């Protein structure tokens, strides 16, 4: 049952990503990309990552789509090129080779959902068991983000602030 659910969600994900890539009209491509983000957040909620799913639905599907649409309203909404020259030969050879290598490495990865996989047994149990004692917050993701790693989160806001300043300076119209 759950495998059927997973496979159909992954197929929807692949189909919306393919649509965003193949559609000629850029406006439709951006809206399909928004759909892709929403399906991604559904997949993440199904995997148990509810905080990541919320952030993706708000920031990925909402804010990124709005930014793309604002750019397209200011520029040309169509990919004007009708015929493309053939792609560079290095990309055609190297990328499938990289894909085969990545898939060949699949059997060394821990099985999907294995509770005894290396990332789940080394350090994360101590966070899960200690965090309520240390921070008095039942949500472990919040307690790691806002308490154990609060300096990282603060510097992340510095990054976003810098990005905002950069956008403001790039888009400033010259007053002559």
Partner 1 sequence: MVDALAAVFERPNFLTFVIIFLWGFYIMVTRYNLVKKLVGMYLVQTSVIFFLVSISAKKGATVPILLSTTDPVKAIDYVNPLPHVMTLTAIVVGVATLGVALALCSAIYRTYGSLDEEEILKKLE
Binding letters toward partner 1, positions 30-59, x by CB under 8 A: x--x--xx--x--xx--xxxxxx--xx--x
Task: Indicate which single residue of 1, 82, 106, 151 sits in contact with partner 1 (rule: CB under 8 A).
Answer: 106
Say if residues 169 and 161 touch (Cβ distance below 8 Å).
no
Between CA 117 and CA 124 the distance in angstroms is: 11
DSSP state of 58: I
Binding partner 1 (rule: CB under 8 A), the pick from 63, 93, 134, 154 is 63
Closest CA to 73 of 16, 19, 26: 26
Considering the complex, what minimum distance in angstroms separates the CB of residue 98 from partner 1? 7
CB of 150 to partner 1, least distance (A): 11
Between the alpha carbon of residue 69 and those of residues 21, 60, 105, 110, the distances in Å are 16, 13, 38, 40
Supply the minimum distance, in Å, between the C-beta of residue 132 and partner 1: 6
Q: Which token pair is 163?
A: 């990005």
Residue 78, SS3? strand
Q: With respect to partner 1, which residue has the nearer C-beta, 1 or 48?
A: 48
Q: Is residue 29 a contact residue for partner 1 (CB under 8 A)?
A: yes
What is the rounded CA–CA span in Å between residue 43 and residue 38?
Answer: 9
Minimum separation from the CB atom of position 68 to partner 1 (A): 7
93 scored as a contact of partner 1 (CB under 8 A): no
The footprint of partner 1 on residues 129-168 (CB under 8 A) is: 129, 132, 138-141, 144-145, 149, 152-153, 156, 159-160, 163-164, 166-167
- Distance of closest approach, residue 175 Cβ to partner 1, in angstroms: 15
The verdict on 95 binding partner 1 (CB under 8 A) reads yes
In three-state secondary structure terms, 137 is coil
Q: With b meaning 16 or more CB within 10 Å and e meaning fewer, what string describes 60-80?
A: bbeeebeebbeeeeeeeeeee
């Amino acid at each position: 049952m759950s495998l059927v659910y997973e496979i159909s969600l992954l197929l929807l994900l692949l189909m919306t990503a393919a649509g965003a890539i193949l559609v000629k009209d850029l406006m439709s491509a951006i809206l399909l990309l928004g759909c892709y983000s929403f399906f991604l957040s559904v997949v993440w909620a199904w995997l148990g990552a509810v905080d990541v799913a919320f952030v993706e639905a708000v920031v990925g599907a909402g804010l990124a789509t709005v930014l793309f649409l604002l750019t397209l309203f200011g520029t040309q909404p169509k990919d004007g090129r009708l015929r493309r020259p053939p792609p560079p030969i290095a990309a055609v050879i190297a990328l499938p080779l990289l894909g085969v290598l990545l898939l060949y490495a699949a059997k060394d990865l821990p099985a999907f959902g294995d509770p005894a996989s290396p990332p789940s047994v080394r350090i994360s149990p101590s966070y899960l068991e200690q965090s309520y004692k240390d921070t008095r917050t039942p949500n472990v993701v919040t307690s790691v983000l806002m308490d154990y790693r609060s300096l990282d989160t603060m510097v992340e806001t510095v990054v976003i602030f810098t990005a905002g300043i950069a956008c403001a300076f790039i888009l400033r119209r010259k007053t002559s």
